[in-house]
Chain A
Amino acid sequence: MAFINTKTKEVQVKLVFVGPGRGGKTTNLEHIFSRIRHRIESDMVSIKTQGDRTLFFDFLPFELGAIKGYNVKTQLYTVPGQVKYNATRKLVLKGVDGIVFVADSMVDRRENNISSLGNLKENLTFYDIDIANIPLVFQYNKRDLATEGIPILDVETLEEDLNSQLKAPSFTASALKGENVIPTVKKAISITIVGIRDKLL
């Protein structure tokens, strides 16, 4: 739930990048950070533990500026994609306002995408959130691999596997090359803030 302070005119929204392990979530955040670092005061933070590796994620906070008199602060998070880190994923999803699902376009990651989305649904249910009711953007990442001869899923298959019922906005992208990373996050922020506009107007 977005944090809205009507006295100080501040809004804080939390967006979480989720998806299968090694799908490019951190690369997305790193690219965003590299593009906006000159105009934000904050830094990208990676919280990790080396021993038990139970809790770690990336965190990128920044201020968008004023919208309708409210200073909008955005927090971007990634969660670890590996199956065994579900406790961390669940924890990071607490209070989430919007989601970017970074799917891996590689053919052999098809099942990982589907199971990761299923895991997201379960974790959101834990917080009484229906995935159909939360601002969500799909990003079909690693499209550049096709040029290297690596088989990738076509967009129709990805849409059918992941987005046939949700009908959320979706983007093809190459986070490594920075292609469509910014449009993805802009869309995610946009639909998330639009989702809370009733409280701002």
Chain B
Amino acid sequence: MDKKANDTFAFDLENRLDDFFNDALPDQEDPDPEETQAPNAEIPLKDLKSTILAIDWEITDDALKAFIDQVETLLERFEDDKVARTYLKILQSLGKYIRTHKSKSHPDTIKRLMAVYSALEEAVASDGLGQDKKEKTLLAEVRKFQQLKTEIIDSKAPYPAVGQPKTVPTEDKSGMQAIIQSLEELKSMMATELTAIRESVERLEKK
């Protein structure tokens, strides 16, 4: 290949790339009609959605920390919205469970996390959704969460044998003790949160 052909090719290529990318839009995206219609309440959930997608992509400590922090922030924000708070409590429980067990979490956990988020988004962002419908959806999600929790407890797959600490080699003892301790904390936390969720559901049912 002669030099002239090479130069022309490189020139054409650079021009094509410049045309293609330089003609690109500025950073802001086209307004999405659905997003335009969504009320402002959806905005605080956007970070949470990104984080959930990140967790779905790859379970990392950073993503889980961000997730738990964002849920806590949202719990304060939706202090007076019992439906949203219940969803957030479920998300918090799931997030803490995933943080403890990471890739050994029950295979349905991420799916549940996404489903609960979708329900939360719908409840928060849809002004047109009636309270009855919101509560009905919430109850269904609570039942699915309880079902998952039952499956996790029944399978005990990710749990170490709590009753066998004596067989642990001395050098691993501190690590195992830490796991047992975190397990106990998780159990306690889930029990507390489930109680809170039950109370919320009972209050909603009484309305």
Whether A68 touches B19, Cβ cut-off 8 Å, given contacts A38-B30, A81-B58, A190-B14, is no
- Whether B70 is near chain A, meaning CB under 8 Å from some CB there, is no
Nearest-CB residue, chain B, relative to A22 = B60
Cβ B21 vs Cβ A186 within 8 A: yes
Cross-interface CB contact of B58 among A34, A65, A80, cutoff 8 Å: A80
User: Is A50 engaged at the interface, CB distance under 8 Å to the other chain?
Assistant: yes
Say yes or no for A82: interface residue by CB 8 A criterion: yes
Inter-chain contact B16/A64, CB cutoff 8 Å: yes
Report if A67-B16 is in contact (Cβ < 8 Å); known contacts: A182-B24, A201-B1, A201-B9: yes
In the assembled complex, which residues on chain B have CB atoms less than 8 Å from the CB atom of A68?
A: 9, 12
Q: Are B23 and A39 in contact (CB-based, < 8 A)? A: yes
Chain A residues whose CB sits within 8 angstroms of the CB of B57 once the complex forms = 26, 46, 48, 56, 80
A49-85 residues at the B interface, CB under 8 angstroms: 50-53, 56, 64-68, 72, 80-82, 84
Q: Give residues of chain A (156-201) contacting chain B, Cβ–Cβ below 8 Å.
A: 178, 182, 185-186, 189-190, 193-194, 197-198, 200-201
On chain A, the residues within 8 Å of B12 by CB distance are 67-68
Number of interface residues of B (CB under 8 A): 30
Contact at A65–B21, with CB atoms within 8 Å? Answer: no
Q: Are the CB atoms of B9 and A34 closer together than 8 Å?
A: no
Pairwise interchain contact A39-B6, C-beta atoms closer than 8 A: no
Q: State whether A50 touches B111 (Cβ < 8 A).
A: yes
Given A64-B16, A82-B58, A200-B9, 16 new contacts (CB under 8 A): A35-B21, A38-B25, A39-B24, A52-B107, A56-B57, A65-B16, A65-B19, A68-B12, A72-B16, A186-B21, A189-B17, A190-B13, A193-B13, A194-B9, A194-B13, A197-B9
